């Protein structure tokens, strides 16, 4: 009985890391279709969340804005990782890969803009919040102008 228990424990200790590591998928391990679908979904999340925040700007519902902005921040923070080398595809300009420095700078600015929205909402400053949102939206337009087909 003890030997059987030891065998089960050893088997579990060998299998568990394999199972855990097997579920960790990086973008490099995904197909081009998966990568493109994931970044399109992420972009849709950014667009949808931004629209929701925009509708809330006039309500001064700072708590709801902060909650949505946290979702937006999370999406923006991981955004540039969804464009690994070799994942070029229609809808995304080659310039993303040719001018990665500018793409990353615009993404970093986008993240900073979103953080400013959070700060404005925390201060419950509607004027600052509206200005921060406009800056963030303008940054979206600048990035799309340069990097979207």
**pLDDT confidence of residue 3:** 56
Query: pLDDT tens across 31-48, in order?
Result: 888 999 999 999 999 999
Q: What pLDDT is recorded for position 112?
A: 97
- Is 46 a member of any domain? yes
| Residue 11: inside a domain | no
Q: Whole domain around residue 132: which residue ranges?
A: 32-147
Max Cα-Cα span within the chain: 72
The verdict on residue 19 lying in a domain is no
> Is residue 16 one of the residues assigned to a domain?
no
Q: What is the CATH number of the domain that holds 38?
A: 1.20.120.10
Helix-strand-coil split of the chain, %, nearest 5: 80, 0, 20
What percent of the chain has pLDDT above 70? 81
User: Which is it for the CA torsion 35, 37, 38, 40, positive or negative?
Assistant: positive
- The SS3 assignment for 63 reads helix
- Predicted structure pTM score: 0.77
In a domain, 8, yes or no: no
Q: In whole angstroms, what is the distance from residue 127 CA to residue 130 CA?
A: 5
Kindly report the backbone phi and psi dihedral angles of residue 124, in degrees, each rounded to the nearest multiple of 5, phi listed first: 55, 45
Structural domain count, the chain:
1
Residue 22 has pLDDT above 80, yes or no: no
Q: Which pLDDT tens digit goes with each residue over 79-107?
A: 888 898 888 888 789 999 999 999 999 99
| 111 closest CA partner among 71, 61, 60, 77 | 77
Q: Which residues contact 77 (CB under 8 A, 6 or more apart)?
A: 111
Q: Residues with Cβ < 8 Å from 142, sequence gap 6 or more?
A: 106
The pLDDT, as a whole number, for residue 31 is 86
């Amino acid at each position: 009985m003890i030997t059987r228990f030891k065998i089960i424990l050893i088997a579990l200790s060998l299998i568990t890391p394999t199972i855990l590591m097997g579920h960790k998928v990086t973008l490099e391990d995904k197909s081009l279709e998966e990568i493109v679908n994931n970044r399109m979904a992420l972009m849709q999340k950014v667009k949808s969340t931004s629209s929701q925040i925009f509708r809330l700007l006039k309500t001064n519902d700072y708590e709801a804005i902060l909650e949505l902005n946290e979702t937006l921040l999370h999406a923006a923070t991981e955004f540039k990782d969804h464009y690994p080398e070799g994942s070029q595809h229609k809808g995304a300009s080659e310039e993303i890969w040719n001018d990665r420095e500018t793409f990353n700078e615009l993404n970093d600015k986008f993240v900073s803009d979103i953080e400013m929205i959070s700060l404005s909402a925390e201060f419950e400053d509607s004027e600052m919040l509206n200005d921060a949102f406009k800056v963030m939206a303008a940054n979206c337009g600048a990035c799309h102008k340069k990097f979207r087909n």
